[in-house]
A and B are shown apart, each in its own frame.
Chain A
């Protein structure tokens, strides 16, 4: 078991004042069979009351509205997480075998599968496909901030993308080859922004692959949310009233995950 401290923050700047800023945040690592989070703290500025709820995929979310005019919005999440080996035993929901709007397969993807000599064993096949995505696409940090609905097909044809794009391509190929897979949003050691990877259902458990490294996720990954695609795992979503109709916004994401020494009290984390 390892212990990590995390900090994740989002800073939004608007070119002129906005109001009725409705937001949804999925930025706190959750509690899973391999992961326990504790001593968490979430602050938003300007201050507003928030609801803490779960979505249908079991992901924790905070929602709220800032009514007063503002030109800046900052979210900061901090806390600690204890992690053991990344493995989640649970029954399979078969929706993860099928494509979504953002992960529809294309003829190009079918050709990729046909031309690759893939293993019969699902886990080995998943490893091969992860390696294939890692080798054939260029990882560019946060390439799709301006295109939140970028599809797997668009990402593949461009040959480059951020972690979400690479995960979408891998998801699509895995499902096309008959393997259930889901998108995961989270944080990772050594990644200075939010991160994404893919969980693959093999045997009776979910295991994780990271297409940005081409390898198996073992440790140093803090899971925040999972779902059929990035739409269900977005760390932030917001809509606001733009009185002038001309507001432009910029977003800065920063994340830091550091390993800490485990102390005795850490083994009994608060729920």
Chain B
């Protein structure tokens, strides 16, 4: 393989210049950090990618059916598959969207699923993101820049191209237009949180791929129950597809959180009237709920009558007495997550807790079992990462796969491989790699 270190320096310089960063957790605090690009790609054999593809299609299909069901008939609750407590007391449950039907009955247009591969070669799904499925563009532009500088490095037999991202997104938009002639005269707008938000770079890059416009709430206005984009050259253009990078609660201050300054007032009225398609559809945040994660295999069996192809990380809910007993007797070998609070709060690793801290956690679990979930700590595969000194070190690495859902569900043949390098001083660097899917 050709040396890509010069190209990777250009990628890193370009990312810093454009403010492309990651959210990382340091000492319990969530903060922005630069996302260094490591030039050595993660290789994904075609057979493994095909297996992941099938598993992801099944998973996203089931989660979408779950959202359609919960916001309408709630059959899965009636049939006792998911306890209603896990749905109705979820901070991500949005009663405001009950009985509103999204375009094509799809809530999960674009999703990101975090996957891990263990040292014995098994894949597990760790988490799904629907409200802000970010990071999609990073590996895309990294490969684009590297290939421009070192085209020969990509002349590898069997290497699949990851350029299809723009085709997937355009196809998604076209599918929505096709079934909704009333929306056909409008433009596509990518809604960011603020001008300086984490997703600004991502949305601008996505706009350059698809021809959409990037806007903040102040660039959008609602008139006659339709939403319009105030273009930089003056004048208003009707918006037919609003691709948002905002949490549900921030979408419309008149409907959801009234303190939201990033949302568009009256947006939900326009949506309810069918005059705009919102991607992903409002209410999708419920499928990210950590407490409901444990029920995804049961959802697959219930809605699709199939066995899950892509397993969850073994998960235990103390809400069930038998699982609580297991958790309390194996606290030193489990991960703990607060499922009732903010999903961005860090997980607690049972192995690093003192005896006193374990007792406190056990008491908290017994007092409010609905609040927690526990997961087995898996031996995650490590990949080589270049250090600034030119050496390679092994680093734990996960893989964020992206799925686009319109008339069919398609998995992007690429993805974000995120690694964490732990330094001797206790600090850590989070970066990313390109993922090379190799043809079978």
Contact = CB atoms under 8 A, between A and B. Distances in A.
A98 to B, nearest CB: 4
Interface of B: 84-85, 88-89, 91, 93, 95-100, 218, 221-222, 225, 253-254, 258-259, 265-266, 269, 272, 367
B254 A24 contact: yes
A148 B253 CA distance: 13
A177 interface: no
B254 A97 contact: no
A40 interface: no
Interface in A60-87: 63, 65
A146 to B, nearest CB: 13
A237 B99 contact: no
A53 B91 CA distance: 26
Interface residues on chain A, size class? 20 to 34
Contacts of B269: 51, 53, 63
Interface string A208-228: 000000000000000000011
A22 B95 CA distance: 22
Interface string A13-26: 00000001011100
A-B CB proximity, top 9 nearest: A22-B265, A98-B88, A98-B89, A24-B254, A56-B98, A95-B88, A239-B253, A239-B265, A237-B254
A55 B266 CA distance: 12
A63 B269 CA distance: 9
Contacts of B89: 98-99
Interface centre among B97, B98, B265 (most CB of A within 10 A): B265
B99 A56 contact: yes
11 contacts: A22-B266, A56-B96, A65-B266, A95-B93, A97-B88, A98-B84, A98-B85, A237-B253, A237-B258, A238-B254, A239-B254
Contacts of A45: none
A56, A95, A98, A237: most-surrounded residue (chain B CB, <10 A) = A56
Given A22-B254, A22-B265, A65-B222, A55 B88 contact: no
A237 B258 CA distance: 8
Interface string A98-126: 11010000010000000000000000000
Contacts of A267: none
A187 to B, nearest CB: 22
Contacts of A101: 91
A149 B225 CA distance: 28
Contacts of A95: 88, 93, 95
B246 to A, nearest CB: 15
Contacts of A149: 258-259
Nearest to B260: A239
Residue from B95, B99, B259 having most chain A Cβ neighbours under 10 A: B95
Contacts of B85: 98
A120 to B, nearest CB: 22
Contacts of A265: none
Contacts of B97: 56
Interface in A219-251: 227-228, 231-232, 234, 237-239, 241
Contacts of A98: 84-85, 88-89
B216 to A, nearest CB: 13
A270 interface: no
Contacts of A53: 269, 272
Interface string A27-41: 000000000000000
A263 interface: no
Nearest to B225: A51
Given A63-B254, A65-B222, A239-B258, A56 B100 contact: yes
Contacts of A148: 258
Interface string A134-148: 000000000000001
A148 B258 CA distance: 9
Contacts of A63: 254, 266, 269
Contacts of B222: 22, 65
A99 B259 CA distance: 21
Given A148-B258, A237-B253, A228 B91 contact: no
